[in-house]
Each structure stands twice: as C-alpha cells, then as structure tokens.
A and B are shown apart, each in its own frame.
Chain A
Amino acid sequence: MVDIKKITAKNMTDKEFFFGHKACAGCGGSLAVRLAMKVFGEKTFAALPAGCMSAVGFIFPQMAFLNNAIISTFPGTGSMLSGMRAGLDALGFHDTHVVGFAGDGGTADIGLQALSGAIDRRDRIIYICYDNEAYMNTGVQKSGLTPYGTKTTTSPAGKNLSGAVTHKKNLFEIIAAHDIAYAATASVGYPQDYLNKLSKAARVKGTSYIHIYATCPTGWGISTETSVSLAKEAVDCGLWYLAEYENSTFKINRKLTKPELLKEHLLKQGRFKHLKDEDIKVIESERDRKWAQMMEKWG
C-alpha cells in the first residue's frame, strides 16, 4: 500500500459525482458521499437505502449522481450490494467499485442483518455509514447510534428524562467481529484521514466498511458553518474516535487530545442544551470507560 499515491485536495479529480443535491446547507453526510465518490471515480455503482442521501439526491426528475446509483430497500443495502457485485462480475466488469451509502439507522438498526450477511460472504463491496446520530431524514428520531442525552422527537428532554437513555451502539466492533477485511471509523472533521481510508477501502479485495461521523446542522441544532469544526472537536474530546481494523488487528489513529473540551462541545449543540451537570458526568464516565478499554485493547 506504500507505493500508492495519496489523494489530497490538491490532486483529487475535478469531477463532481454528487452535485446539485438538495441536502441542507452544511450537511456532513453529503460531504462524506461527495468525497467518497471523488476517490472511487466514475466506474462506481452506488446503492442508497431510504435516508437523507437518497432523499436529497433522487428527487424526480432530478438525479444528483453522475454515476450509476440506485435506491435500495431500507433493510437490504448489504444484499443489494452483493447482488450488484455478482452482476458486474458476471458481465466481466471487474474493474469497478460497488458502494453503499447508508445512514446510522439504515446501518445499525434496519440494515444490520443484510450488512452482516454481505460481510459473511466476503464480497468485494464498500459499505459507508454516514452517522448523524438519529433518523434525520424523517425528522430526528432516535436510532441505535444516538448517544446518551440526545434530544430527539422520540426521546424528548423534559422533567422526567433528559433525552436518550441509552449509549451509542458499538457498531464498529460489531462489524469488526465478523473478521471483515477492512473496517475504519472517520470524521468529516478529519477529511484527509477519511480520504486515506477511502483509498484503502478501494483497494481491499474483500468487504470494507467505513463509519463516518457526519454532522447534521438541522437535527443537531448547530449553526451551519460549524459543521466541520464540530466534527473535529467531537474526535478531539473523545466522543468519537478514529480507528482502523485490518488483518484482524485494531489500531487507533488518533489519541484523545482535548478531554476537557467535552462540556463546552456538548453545550454548543441544541440537542444537548438541556443537559444538567449530572448528565454530562454520565457521558464523561462512559467516554472514559470506552477510551480506557480501547487504549488497553488496541493501544
């Protein structure tokens, strides 16, 4: 992998494969799709289940993808990708990529079994989960990847409860437990790291999975211009992490650098505005537990 030229902002293709879509201003998910398509190039076949990116890209008669793209069934992204790969191989189009872009709900809840099956078959597909931590497309409902304390329409904050009562599902390790060829986590706040992981995924012979933390100004109650900086801050204060899994080994790409930023980071977001000090303590202790475990096992 050493001899492969790094893709950067300066040398990446000028082609835009995901353009003119109707995503909200400052959308992190559409940035994740745009950059991924720029790395994979035009010989890419995409499948998108119900979710923001299919809702904003395929508004008839608009088609914001320049390459082949299709809306899959909500639970069937993984199986659809397997089928597309099999079809392409049968037609002799081996020099192609098959990629799926699903949201956090479409991956961690609804599409989990199809994804698990696709990884089990070891198909040469790339699955990208853009994680905006709730079902944003349908109006901010709690998903399996919604973190503790988040205010959503199905986990409202009030006198009795302060938002979601469960912690974020540990999806990255669930995927890695399949002994997948390549899995990684990324953040739109660290775009170069994401580009490197995409290039790696494009060259993997088996299944690869990238979980990218994608901000959602509309659902998170943040101003649009802070979309990228907040995604960076989430990694710096330890609410998200950059890691990789390949050759059956975990690797942390970035250590926890600014743990003290946590409270400030949370209170910047509308979805966490209601949090009291004791709720922040719960989030902090969960973060510390998670990081201690990661450093011990993977560090």
Chain B
Amino acid sequence: MLKPEIKNYVTPKHIRDYPTGPSFEAGHLVSINAGWRTFKPVVDINVCTGCYQCYLLCSDGAISKTDNKKIEFDYSFCKGCGVCAHECSFNAISMVKEELAK
C-alpha cells in the first residue's frame, strides 16, 4: 500500500460490534477531504519544471510526481490551502474558485 486508502466501513449496529481494545487497522480512511475547498489548485504543465517544492511542502501529501517529471493533484484529499501556489517559484500553479474550475 502506497498510502492510507478509503475503505468500506459498516457502521456497527450494536455495542458488541465495536472493537474491544483501543486498536485499529493502519491506513484506514473512511471519508475524503475535498469538501473543505473553496479554491482549487490547477497546475500549468507547460510551466512546471518538476522541482517538487510543492510536493515537499504539501501538508496533506495530496501532490504526487508523475512519470514525465511533473506533478498532479489528488483532489479527493486536497484541502485547498494554497501553499503550493504560493511557494511555486515559477507561478505554475493557480488557485481557481471551485465552481469556476473545469
């Protein structure tokens, strides 16, 4: 597994269905964070130089490297903080209002 993943979770119906100890499976996610965003980052692939500063500085790990040495966003987990756009030395990332983004 490369990173924690969304897994199907059946809500317990009875107190007996809850785990008895305070432990749980690692890397188990039940919901995405996309709904937090007002602005969404959009990268201009032609301007991106693949320096990966945004990748380094993303608190959510929502940026990944692509095979052609550029970046792509995981919009399910991007919270739209804008650090990537603000720190990009080449202005390759712009923050676009969510409903205006294609």
A30 within 8 Å of B (CB atoms): yes
- The interface residues of chain B lying within 8 Å CB-to-CB of A67 are 26
Encoded as 1 (CB less than 8 Å from any B CB) or 0, chain A from 35 to 59 comes to 1000000000000000000000010
Decide if B4 touches A65 in the complex (CB within 8 Å). yes
Q: Which of A10, A15, A31, A69 contacts B26 (CB 8 A)?
A: A69
Q: Known contacts being A9-B55, A20-B4, A226-B86, is A66 close to B60, with CB within 8 Å?
A: no
Provide the main secondary structure of the chain B interface. Answer: loop
A-B CB contacts (within 8 Å), total count: 113
A170 within 8 Å of B (CB atoms): no
Q: With the chains together, A107 CA to B95 CA distance in Å?
A: 36
Decide if B33 touches A22 in the complex (CB within 8 Å). yes
Decide if A225 touches B81 in the complex (CB within 8 Å). yes
Decide if B61 touches A66 in the complex (CB within 8 Å). no
Encoded as 1 (CB less than 8 Å from any B CB) or 0, chain A from 66 to 86 comes to 111101000000000000000
Decide if B85 touches A10 in the complex (CB within 8 Å). no
Decide if A31 touches B3 in the complex (CB within 8 Å). no
Rounded to whole Å, the gap between the CB of A232 and the closest CB of chain B is 9
Most A-side CB within 10 Å, residue of B28, B31, B81, B87: B81
Instruction: Return the 8 tightest CB-CB contacts between A and B, nearest first.
Output: A225-B82, A26-B81, A16-B3, A25-B81, A25-B79, A9-B56, A9-B52, A224-B81
